[in-house]
């Protein structure tokens, strides 16, 4: 039986703790990690330049100090989490981005990553079972009565909100919104995927079920969803299992393409001996 998505784990800074994070990835095939902005901002931005790699140029283009701070901290969290997942060091994690902005670890297609942040909380999701998407919002973000239901909810979801009553309407709407964000991120669509074309049946527990606009379940068991409370935030996760099974050894030497590994570590191409 596929284990449920576990509650997000804290990373209190570059020192982790990373042991529980690696253990959860090995146990269930995925892990969600969160960090507080203040714990991930280095005393001097230039100290982080070697770790940012290609992201340093993008960092320098950001004009607003808060945006620069959040960008820096979130990429450091992502790099350290990916490094813990593939048993390497953060400076060897080469982040790249798909056309829609979705991050991936260059040369490590055996893992999939997702990143979200708002206010002072950052969240990273990693899986080696298929695809993953994460999203975080303030739990008290005002969505009810703002037109969000018309723009983002299916007819079934509107009935679900009505049945829940006004006391929990906004809470359920935030939960639905973050689930839709997480799912569309896992698909690589972001906000390009119309939120009224799919919906979620909320379970009383932390889980949810993907449904069509009329509320009928979508067949298949390859998707898992979860929503969790982290301090004053709501974190939602979508995980897709490709069905190829889990990979026990995720160390960089086995997950990274050999040619890419040689390039990153400065070694010679295969079959070519180093000259003296």
pLDDT digits (tens, 9 = 90+) for 63-89: 999 999 999 999 999 999 999 999 999
**So what's the pLDDT on residue 191?**
57
What percent of the chain lies above the pLDDT cut of 90? Answer: 71
Contact predicate 46/21, CB 8 Å: no
Contact predicate 270/262, CB 8 Å: yes
Q: Which whole number is the average pLDDT over 207-226?
A: 91
pTM of the model: 0.86
Six-digit token string for 100 = 């829609």
What percent of the chain lies above the pLDDT cut of 70? Answer: 86
**So what's the pLDDT on residue 109?**
87
Q: What is the mean pLDDT of the chain?
A: 87
pLDDT digits (tens, 9 = 90+) for 135-162: 999 999 999 999 999 989 999 999 999 9
**So what's the pLDDT on residue 152?**
92
Q: Which whole number is the average pLDDT over 81-107?
A: 92
Q: Is the dihedral of CA 51, 182, 196, 147 positive or negative?
A: negative
Q: Looking at per-residue confidence, does 129 or 246 come out higher? A: 129
* Domains in the chain: ranges and CATH: 1-129+245-267 (3.90.470.20), 142-229 (3.90.470.20)
Contact predicate 239/127, CB 8 Å: yes
Query: Angle at which helices 169-187 and 155-164 pack, to 10 degrees?
Result: 150
Q: 185-212: b or e for each residue (b if 16 or more CB lie within 10 Å)? A: bbbbeeeeeebeebbbebeeebebebbe
**Integer distance in angstroms from the first to the last C-alpha of the chain?**
55
Residue 250, pLDDT > 60, answer no
Secondary structure element (H or E) that encloses residue 163, with its range: helix 155-164
Residues 146, 2: Cα–Cα separation, whole Å: 38
**So what's the pLDDT on residue 47?**
78
Q: Looking at per-residue confidence, does 248 or 139 come out higher? A: 139
Rg (C-alpha) for the chain, rounded Å, is 20
**So what's the pLDDT on residue 265?**
44
**So what's the pLDDT on residue 1?**
56
pLDDT band with cut points at 50, 70 and 90 for residue 251:
low
DSSP letters, 30-88, are EEEEEEEHHHH--SSGGGGHHHHTTHHHHHHH--SHHHHHHHHHHHHHHHHHHHHHHTS
């Amino acid at each position: 039986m596929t284990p449920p998505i576990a509650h997000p784990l804290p990373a209190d800074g570059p020192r982790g703790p990373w042991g529980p994070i690696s253990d959860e990835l090995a146990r269930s095939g995925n892990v969600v990690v969160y960090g507080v902005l203040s714990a991930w901002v280095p005393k001097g931005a230039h100290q982080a330049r070697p770790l940012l790699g290609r992201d340093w140029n993008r960092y320098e283009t950001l004009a607003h100090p808060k945006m620069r701070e959040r960008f820096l901290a979130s990429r450091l969290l992502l790099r350290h989490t990916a490094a813990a997942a593939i048993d390497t060091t953060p400076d060897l994690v080469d982040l790249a981005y798909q056309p829609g902005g979705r991050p991936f670890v260059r040369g490590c297609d055996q893992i999939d990553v997702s990143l979200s942040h708002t206010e002072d909380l950052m969240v990273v999701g990693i899986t080696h079972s298929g695809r993953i998407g994460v999203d975080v919002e303030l739990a008290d973000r005002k969505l009810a009565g703002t037109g969000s239901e018309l723009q983002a909810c299916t007819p079934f979801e509107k009935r679900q909100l009505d049945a829940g009553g006004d006391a929990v309407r906004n809470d359920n709407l935030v939960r639905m919104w973050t689930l839709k964000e997480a799912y569309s991120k896992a698909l690589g669509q972001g906000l390009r995927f119309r939120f009224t074309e799919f919906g979620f049946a909320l379970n009383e527990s932390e889980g949810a079920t993907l449904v069509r606009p009329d509320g009928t379940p979508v067949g298949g068991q390859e998707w898992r969803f979860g929503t969790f409370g982290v301090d004053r935030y709501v974190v939602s996760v979508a995980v897709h299992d490709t069905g190829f099974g889990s990979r026990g050894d995720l160390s960089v030497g086995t997950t990274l393409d050999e040619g890419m590994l040689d390039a990153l570590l400065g070694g010679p191409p295969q079959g070519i001996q180093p000259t003296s």
